[in-house]
Amino acid sequence: MPEPKSAFDATYPCDFYEPAELFDPDQMYTVPEIGRLLQGLEPDAEVDPDTEAVLVDWAVPWVMVHADGMVVAEPLEEDGPGYYGLAPEAEDAAEAATDAAADE
């Protein structure tokens, strides 16, 4: 059920990480691990199942929106999860932006 904005003490910008800000370029992550990273947790942080479900709910659309900056790998095991990581071109773009900012 929608709530009026006045019901909340504060609202915040809906600002999400870019893949280059979130991922170690040498690592691949599962959707639950991405959900943890989006909340500022370590990818292997212990969370209860209800929290895990919420984190996955946040991570799935984030992955879809940022798919152009990511690569995907098949599961390591037949019934295992897929893995996502930083696309090389996204890493290059992030490095170029950092270099440009340093030059200013």
In the chain, where the domains are located: 23-97
Q: What pLDDT, on a 0 to 100 scale, did the predictor assign at position 96?
A: 66
pLDDT tens for 44-102 read 999 999 999 999 999 999 999 999 999 999 999 999 999 999 999 888 776 766 666 67
| Distant-in-sequence, close-in-space partners of 75: CB < 8 Å, separation ≥ 6 | 81, 82, 83
84 close to 22: Cβ distance less than 8 angstroms: no
